[in-house]
Each structure stands twice: as structure tokens, then as C-alpha cells.
Structure 1
Amino acid sequence: MIEELRITDLGVISDATIALHPGFTVVTGETGAGKTMVVTGIGLLLGERADPRAVRNGAERARVEGRFRGVDPAVAARVEEAGGELDDGASGPELLVARHLTAAGRSRAYLGGSGVPAAVCADVTSRLITIHGQSEQVRLAAPERQREILDRFAGPPLAALLGEYRSRFVERRAALAELTELREQAQARAREADLLTFGLIEIEKVAPQPGEDVALAAEAERLQSADDLRLVATTALGALAGGDDEAGGAMTEVGVARKALDGQSDVEVAALAARLAEVSYALGDVAADLARYLDRLDAEPGRLEWIAGRRSALQNLTRKYGATVDEVIAWSADAAARLSTLDSSDDRIAALTERLAVLDAELAGLAGQVTGARTRAAAAFSERVLAELAALAMPHARLLFDLTPAELGPHGADHVELLFSANPGSEPRSLAKVASGGELSRVRLGLEVVLAADAQHQTLVFDEVDAGVGGRVAVEIGRRLAALARHAQVVVVTHLAQVAAFADQHYVVVKSDDGQVTTSGVLPVAEEERAAELARMMAGLETTDSALAHAGELVELAAASRRPV
């Protein structure tokens, strides 16, 4: 529950602190005094859009701060996750929430002392406070909101069913999207598979080897200059070994020189002879290598032509699949992997189709269980709300939840609509079409009173809950709000004395005007002053004796209704 609310420079309120207690708190005040700023301030704590025009004239910024106690572990964990901390209060952990708004339009939210986005602040505070204003009355006319209310009444059993249903629904939606995409792209995949298969077959026929194009280019270059190579090799061999038709050559001359030196006793000459022997052996080795080289040149007829054909086949591949043979081989590996993926798409389509059939059956079963739970809850809910409406001076009202089949959606297969009639003999019709403003206010209050039994530690804020009503109906609204406050903290902004009389705590927004600026403050109304304030609300500026008497009767009536039976 919210324990304290402080508002600074918001609207016409310059600085006000409201200490809130469990039970029923009412805020009253003259028209234009700024009592709706209390709801606006709480709305800012709930992350609502910050309007810079709400900053008080002449002020740089508006500030709203709220102190909450009774924070449950789930909320505490969310605060810690956001970087905030709880304070140690006299009655347990307390959470401080603040919202600052500048006249320039900048807004900041603070959660447990840590600056957070407004959405994060709203995520936490929405678990602690619910505001019911005119916008909620409009929302109540929507079938989606009516379904939410019914599901809330049905409680944890239906929530568990819906959780299981939604997990299946989300899975089905993802599977259907994937299946649709696979089917829509089937032709494109088939064309791609054909192209990949053609390329792999073409490459397989040629069977290129890594680096083959580079090696063949070097060999072709060598073979294309074979005549020149043969001439230089023959000339070199002749110089070493002599021509075929004549003796001589370097080897012969070296042999003659060696022979001349052999057998001499002089040490130096013997050393020279040994060196000549080494030269002779080396020249013999070179001559032998040259001879073998010439034999190879003459042993590869047609090799150059084969190389040209092979290079042509490789170039046909490199024009399509890569700049080099190595790139062609890499493309072949990638294409094989991609083809495997494409081939598996048919298997995936079959698996998804089978899974969708299973999910459809499971969803149909779960949707049926959801419908059954809603139907049972609808009957009990309507019966209890009708009892509340009878207490709100609508004894002949009829209210029922109409469930009609709908397509499977994220919330089941039901279209939920509240049907209502206020008078006997009238067939219930759509609540949004037949209920007046006052009737809609009472229906909304009746729903909230019934739902509040499970709303422990929840704070409910009502703005204009008594719109369009008065007299005895207003008294009954006050009585029902007091009953609601037995289960939840209730804060009500009202202009009706009949409602305010039932409050456990009363604040009044007081307006002052110095001729230039209008300023409002929020003051507590002491118990002995209640009758005077209620009389003012009934009689206007002039508080008459009859108004005071009537106000005293209201206070006594409200006090009697709160006494234990």
C-alpha cells in the first residue's frame, strides 16, 4: 500500500504531503481546486505520460514522491534488478518512488533511489496501485477488458490453463510462420538445388586438384620454349663432352691437364692434380644431367597439347565458380553443404506439418478447458455482482457474461462480452451500448468490490467513480467503497458528500488566490470537522443549519455501517 504521497508544483498544488492509511481515504475540494492532481500525481508514479503543462506556473519542475510499504518479494526482486534498494521502515521494507517533470518537457523516474526509465517504474508500481478513472470506464466497454476481468475473477486455476495454452499458441505461431516461409520459397530452393547440383557434377567431371592451374601454367611455359632449351642444352653438352663427330671438349682438355700432372713427386703439383680430378668428376656429372634433360625433352611428345586442353577445362570452371582452382574447390565444398541443407527442407516441412497437427489438437483441448473454466466463473461472478448492483439501487439489473466461439487466439477461443439490462422486461444487450454513465459507474464499482476479495495489499484509486449519480445511490456507492476498503486500500476523489461520509480518512484540497496566482494545498479534515466539510459539499459556500444536520446524519449513518454486527 502507499503510505505517503508528496506533490510539489504540480498543477495548482505548490506543496502537499498526504499520509495515507489502510482503509478508505477520500479527497474532496471545490471545483477547480486541483483535487484531480492527486490522481495525476499517482498516475505519474505509475509511469503515465508526463505533460510539461502540468508543471505549476512559475516553477521549473514538478515532483511527485510516493512511499510504499508491504512490498512483496517479487516486487523487491524487480526493484533490485533495476538497481534500486528498499529502505528499512518501522513496519518493514519500504519502497520510495519518485517522478520529476520539468517545464521544458524532460522527465525522470526514480525507483528505490536509482534513476530508471518510466516503463521500468511503471512495471513495478502497477503491481501496487490500480487507478480507476474515466478512462477505465471507457475500457470497461471493450470486450478485451471484459475478458480480462472475467479471467481475473476465475483466478489461479484459469491462469495456469491460460499459461499452458499460450505456450502452445506461441509455439504454433512460430512453427506456422516457418512452414509458410519454407513453402513459399520451395520453387526458389528447387532452382537453387538444380544449379548447385549442375555445378558439382561439372566440377566432379574435371576433378581439379589444389594448385593444379599454377603448376600447369609453369609446365606449359617450359614446354613452349623446348626448342630453345634443346639448343642451349646441346651446345652446353658439346662444350663439355665434344661433338658427336669430333673429339675434344672441356672434359677431354681437363683430362689431358690432369694426366700431365699425375705421378709428380712435388707436393704442390700433386695437390693441383687432385683438384683437376675433382673438376673432371664435376664436369662428368653436369654432362650426364644435360644428356638426361635432352632425353626428357624428346620423350614428351603431345604433352603440351594435353596441358592446353586441361587448362581449358580448368578455365571453364574458374569462369563460373572462382578465380582460381583452389576457389573452385572451396565453392564445391560450400555448395555440397548448402545442397544438404536444401535437401533437408523437405524433411523440415514434413516435421512442421506433423507438429502443427499435434499442436492444433492440444490447443483445441486446452481452449475447451479454458472455455469451461470461464463459463463456470462467469455464472458465479455475475451472481455476486448482481448482489452488489442491488445494493447500489439497481435491484432489477441483469448482468451476464456472454461467451461465443471464436477463432483460436492468444487468449483462447472465446469472444467475451458483458450483457446488461437495468430494467425488468429488457433483454440484456451489450454493456457499452445500453448502460448510461451512472449505470456504468455502478457496474464498474460492483465488479471491483467482488474482485477486491483477492486483492490483499492492493491500492485502488478511484476518480469520478460517482459520476452521474446522487442521492440514495451515492450513499450506497459510499457504503460499497467502504466494504471494498476492508480488503484493499481505497483512495477516492469525489465531489459527493454521501460518498465522502463513509471514508476512514478525509483530505480536502483548499484553494487560495492572491490575485495573481492560484495555489492549492491538501489538508487533513479532523473528525470533528467532518460534518462542516460535508455540509459545505452539499450546500456550497453557504453552510446552512439544515446542511449541517444532514451532514451529521450522514456521518452517523456511515459510522453505523462500519460497526461490527
Structure 2
Amino acid sequence: MLRGLEIRDMLIIDRLDLSFQPGLNVLTGETGAGKSILLDSLGFVLGWRGRADLVRQGAEQGEVVAVFDLSAGHPARAVLEEAGLPAGDEVILRRINGRDGRKTSWVNDRRVSGEVLRALSDTLVELHGQHDDRGLLNPRGHRQVLDAFAGVGPLMGDVRTAWRALGQARRARQDAEARLAEVAAEEDFLRHAVAELDKLDPQAGEEATLDAQRRAMQGAVRVRGDVARALAALSDDGAERLLIDATRWLEDASDGVEGGLDGALSALGRALNELGEAQQGVERCLDALDVDPHALEATEERLFALRALARKHGVLADDLGGFADDLRARLSALDGGAAGIASLKQDEAQAQAKYDDAAAGLSAARREAAGRLDAAMMAELSPLKMERAVFTTCIAPGEPGPEGADSVAFEVATNPGAPSGALNKIASGGELSRFLLALKVCLARGTSGVTMIFDEIDRGVGGATADAVGRRLRGLAEGAQVLVVTHSPQVAALGGHHWRVEKKVADGATLSTVTPLSADARVTEIARMLSGDTISDAAMAAAQSLLAG
């Protein structure tokens, strides 16, 4: 419920503080007094798109504050929670329009975007009038209006669930087909690469092992010549032969020197023994360095093949095995792709069937509700002196989506035999107002928590018809809040609370004011609405009669 509205420096309003009440609130005043400015200001703080030049002449900025009371389960609470805003028993909207056109908005003292304001406004206020393109006159919203009347929430939930499942199944099939097409385009490459990798059969860590073996064999080839030459120097044709000759010569000469060569001969014996051990060690090392040239060649060929294949595919040699597994998986997907896609197509068909069933159930509920809505509308139009008019809820096949596969539009014919058409195309101003009021009465049953605003919805009607309009507005206001801008005394007399909008000139400036009316002041205002500027006794009596009901 809208509890309070504060307006500062907006158009011809300098300062205005209003406190509204539950029930039917009526605002009256002469044409041009500022009633539309009041609604423009309210629309501004709610984030609605409207006129741009709102700041009062001479002021630096205009400001509007609106305070709404929230019930425990009010849908605005969900919007506040989603936006990360504090939520309590009230919500305070504040918006400033600078002279330069810049707009800033706050909700509960938190800076917010216009999008958040508009999301909140959808849960707080409904505006109905001849130029209302946000509500019942907007064909894009007629399906939602019918669904609200029909109470198809559970069916809608089933349809949305089925739509999500269908979307998932469709995307799974499309993704599989895309992957299959991608793999099929490189089938020749995949088969050649897998065959090449299978033939080589690379193993993790193999490159390092082969490289170490190659280095060892290459090193052995380089040092074996030196070891062989050393062995030759130690063998029979080298140091060993010389030592043996020297020993023989010294032994022949030892008798002539009477033991002078015994020490030398002993040392030579030991040297020959040591030389033999050295020769055996060198021979063992030479045997160990005996590298098969074919083995070195084979090691190098495999090492080079691994590295070449790694460069070819842009991976590390140790990753060739995993890379081969990936290619095999892609080939496997290609070989089994047709069967997999067939299965996915079957899943999609089943999801489509479930969606079609859910959508058909929702369509049936909509058609049944459409008949009830049309009958309810005809019952409401008769007291509004439109018993000859025809209201029809048209349901046609529409684009399938999460809310079903129906297109819904409200059409009217103002006279029997006349062609029907869209609400805002066929009806005149007064007829349109009554159609909208009747439709809102039918749709508002059970509605709570939303402030409904009717902007001159009684235009073009009077007498008993205006009285019928007023009584339906009062009925809507039971247990709710309705604000009505009206020129009809019959409607104004049925209000629970009454404000008069006036335009005054003070110090050369034109200002608009809004004054709550007492019981006596209401009689005078309704008398003015009946008779004009000159209020007669008869008009006063008629006003009192209207207020008495």
C-alpha cells in the first residue's frame, strides 16, 4: 500500500506531502490543476519512462519520495532480496532528477538502478487508463493476464520444467552432431595419426631413457680407442715384453755381480705381477666398452622418431601416449557417433512429447478460463451500459516457449455484428475506460498488496453509468488500495478519502497544491463538480445526496 508521497520542485509543485489510506482514494480538480503532474511524479519515483522536463523552473533538482507498506508475503520482498536490499515492513523509494537531466535512485537508502525500481514498481503499483501501455492495453501481457485469472501456476511449472528438459536434450543432440561433424572433417588425419602412433607405441619416460642410453654409447665409442691403445702398450708387444727382456738380461748378469741385482730382480717380478693385474682390468673395461654399432643406430632412430612425432603434433614426447588416447577417443566417437546421435534424437523426441503434453494441458486450461473470463466480462459490462458489446479472449497457436505455445489477445466488438479488434483499436475513450474497468474487476479478485491507480477511467461516462463505475472501483478497493483521478461526481462521492488538486498563482509563480478534504469540504467539491464555478443550493443538495449513497 502507498502510505506516503513527498514531492519537491517537480514542474509546478514546489513542496507536497501526501498521506494515503487503504480503500478508495479519489483526487479531483479542474482540468490543468496538476493531477497528471501528481501521477507523473509518482511514475518518476517508480522508474517509469515519462516526460523528461520534470524539474520546476528555477530549481536545481526535483525529488520524489514514496513510502509503501509491505505485507508479510508481498512479492516486493523477493525483488528486494534478489537485489541485495534490506527488506522490512516498508520500502522507501527516493529519486532525484537534476537540472542537467541526470537521475539518481535509492531504495531503503541504497543506491539502485532504474531497472531495480521498475522491477519493484511492477509489484507495488498498477496504472490503468486510456493511455496505459504498461498494463491491460498491452497485447504482449494478455497471456499473463489470462494465466493469472485461470490460476494455472502448477501447470505452468510443469511446462517450464518440460521446456528446460527439452532444451537440454536439444542442446545435447546439437552438440553431439557438431562434434561428429568436426571429427568427420578430419577423419583421414585421425586414422593416419593413430596408425602412426600405434606403430611407434611411445611410452611415458622413454625419451629420457633413450637419450641416456645414446649418450652412454656415444661416450663409450669415444674412449674405447684410448683404452685399446693402453692395453696394447701393456701387452706382449709393449711394457710386458720389455719387462720380461729386462728380467732375462739381469738374471744372466746377476752371477757376475754377486747379488747386486737381487733387489732389482725382485722389484721387476712385482712389477710384472702388477702389470698383469692392470692388463686384466683394462681388458675388462675394454670388453664393457664394446658397443654394437647397430644398437646405437637403433637407439638413435627411435629417439629421433619420438622427437619428430612430438614436434609434428605439437606435444611433449612424454605426452604422445595421452595424445594418442585422445585421438583414439575421437575416432571411437566417430565410429559410434551415428548410434549415439540416434539415441540422443530419441531422448529429444521423448522430451518434445512431454513438453507437447504439458503445453496441451496448459492450453486446455487457458481455453476453459477464456470462456469463464468472457462470461465474467459480459456480466460486468452490462451494468456499465455496454450490454451490447462483446468481449472475446482469442487463443491461437504461438511460438513454443517456457510459458506454452499459445498466443493470447483480448478483442472487443462494441456492437453486435461489428468487426472485433484489439481493445485500444476498436473502443472509443469512454468505452475503453469501461472495458478496462470491467476487465480489472474480473482479474482483481483475490489480488492484494498492489496499489491500483485509475487515471480518468470514467472519462466519457456519466449518470447511472458513472455510478456503476464508482461502485466497481469501491468494490476493488475493499481490502486493497485504489487511487482514482476523476472528473465524475458520482465516482468521487463513493471514495473513502478525498483530495482536491488546485492550481494557484503566488508571487508570479504558478503552483499546484493537493488538499485533503473534510466532510463539509467534500460536499462543496462535489457540488462544484456538478454545477461548475457557481455552486447552487440544488448542487449542494445533490452533492449531499450522492455522498449519502
State the TM bucket, normalised to the shorter chain.
Answer: 0.7 to 0.9
- Pick from 440, 452, 459: which aligns with 1:448? 440
Structure 1 CA distance for aligned equivalents of residues 189 and 242 of structure 2: 66
| Residue 407 (structure 2) pairs with residue 399 (structure 1) | no
Change (3 A) 1:287 1:214: farther
Contact 2:194/2:327 (8 A) holds in 1 = yes
Distance 1:168 1:284, change over 3 A: farther
Q: Are 2:28 and 1:28 aligned? A: yes
1:368 paired with 2:368, answer: no
1:179 to 173, 182, 195: 173
Cα distance in 1 for partners of 2:387, 2:217 equals: 113
Judge conservation of contact 1:420–1:429 (CA < 8 Å) in 2: yes
Partner of 2:124: 128
Aligned-residue offset at 1:137: 5.5
Q: Give 1:229's match in structure 2, choosing from 223, 226, 248.
A: 223
Q: Which residue of 1 aligns with 2:240?
A: 247
Contact 1:479–1:558 (CA under 8 A) maintained in structure 2: no
> Taking structure 1 as reference, are residues 12 and 171 closer, same or farther at Cα in structure 2, changes over 3 Å only?
farther
Quote the residue 1:436 is aligned against.
428
- The Cα shift of 1:337 comes to 5.2
Structure-2 residue corresponding to 1:147: 143
Give the CA RMSD over aligned residues: 3.6
SS at match of 1:208: coil
Distance of aligned partners of 1:332 and 1:552 in 2 relative to their CA distance in 1, 3 Å threshold: farther
Mark the runs of 5 or more structure 1 residues left unpaired by the alignment: 88-92, 254-272, 561-565
Q: Does the alignment pair 1:195 with 2:189?
A: yes
Structure 2 partner of 1:58 = 58
Deviation for aligned residue 1:445: 0.5
| Alpha carbons 1:452, 1:487 under 8 Å: kept | no
SS in 1 for 2:240: coil
1:502 touches 1:559 (CA, 8 Å); kept in 2? Answer: no
- Flag the 1:323–1:280 CA change in 2: closer, same or farther, 3 A: farther
SS at match of 2:387: coil
The unaligned stretches of length 5 or more in structure 2 are 247-265
Partner deviation per Cα, 1:202-247 (whole Å, 9 max, x = no partner): 11211234454455456556656777533311233345x3454552
Q: How far is 1:441 from its partner?
A: 1.5
> Match of 1:119, as an amino acid?
E
TM-score calculated relative to the size of structure 1: 0.81
Q: Describe the shift of the 1:539–1:288 C-alpha distance in structure 2 as closer, same or farther (beyond 3 A).
A: farther
The amino acid of 2:10's aligned partner reads: L
**Cα deviations by residue, 1:137-179 (Å, 9 ceiling, x for unpaired):** 6854554333222211112xx1210121122113213432442
| 1:3–1:315 distance in 2 versus 1, CA, 3 Å | closer
Per-residue CA deviations over 1:282-320 (Å, capped at 9, x if unaligned) read x87765453234334545143344345334533441341
Structure 2 residue aligned with 1:94:
90
Letter of the structure 1 residue corresponding to residue 122 of structure 2: S
Count of aligned pairs between the two proteins:
528
Choose from 108, 114, 123 the match for 1:112: 108
* 1:300-315 equivalence runs, <5 A: 300-315=292-307
CA distance in 1, matches of 2:39, 2:236: 120
> Alpha-carbon deviations, 1:83-133, whole Å to 9, x = none?
54456xxxxx33333233333334333333433333334333422321224
Partners of 2:272 and 2:545 in 1: how far apart?
139
Q: Cα distance 1:223–1:365, how it changes in 2: closer, same or farther (>3 A)?
A: closer
- The AA in structure 2 aligned to 1:19 is S
| Structure 2 letter corresponding to 1:403 | I
Q: Is the 8 A contact 2:459 2:487 kept in 1?
A: no
Against the structure 1 CA distance between its residues 292 and 68, is the aligned structure 2 distance closer, same or farther, given a 3 Å change threshold?
Answer: same
Residues 240 and 272, structure 2, Cα contact 8 Å, conserved in 1: no
Partners of 1:26 and 1:505 within 8 A in 2? yes
Corresponding residue for 1:349?
341
Residue 524 of structure 1, CA deviation: 1.0
The question of 1:46 aligning with 2:40 is answered: no
Asked if 2 retains the 8 angstrom alpha-carbon contact of 1:497 and 1:537, the reply is: yes
- Looking at structure 1, the residues matched to 239 and 457 of structure 2 have their Cα atoms a distance apart, in angstroms, of 132
Which amino acid is the alignment partner of residue 365 of structure 2?
Answer: A
The change in CA–CA distance for 1:557 and 1:388 in structure 2 (over 3 A counts) is farther
Residue range with higher mean Cα deviation, 429-438 or 340-349: 340-349
**Contact kept in structure 1, 2:3 and 2:67, CA below 8 Å:** yes
Deviation at 1:25, TM superposition (A): 0.8
Identity %: 35
> Partner residue of 1:493?
485
Name the residue aligned to 1:159: 153
User: Structure 1 residues 146, 126: closer, same or farther in 2, change over 3 A?
Assistant: closer
Name the aligned partner's letter for residue 167 of structure 1: T
How has the CA–CA distance of structure 1 residues 402 and 224 changed in structure 2, closer, same or farther, with 3 Å as cutoff? closer
CA shift digits 1:492-540 (9 cap, x unpaired): 1223334323222111222223465322221112221123323444555
TM-score (norm. length: structure 2): 0.83
Letter in 1 for 2:7: I
Aligned CA distance change for structure 1 residues 289 and 524 (closer, same or farther; 3 Å): farther
Distance 1:83 1:404, change over 3 A: closer
Contact 1:162 1:411 in 2 (8 A): yes
Q: What is residue 410 of structure 1 aligned with on the other side?
A: 402
What is the distance in 2 between the residues matched to 1:336 and 1:295?
Answer: 46
Tell me if the contact between 2:127 and 2:135 (Cα under 8 Å) persists in the aligned partners: no
- Distance apart, 1:388 and its partner CA: 1.6
Alignment of 1:452-531 (within 5 A): 452-470=444-462, 472-514=464-506, 516-531=508-523
Paired with 2:273 and 2:429, the residues of 1 have a C-alpha distance of 126
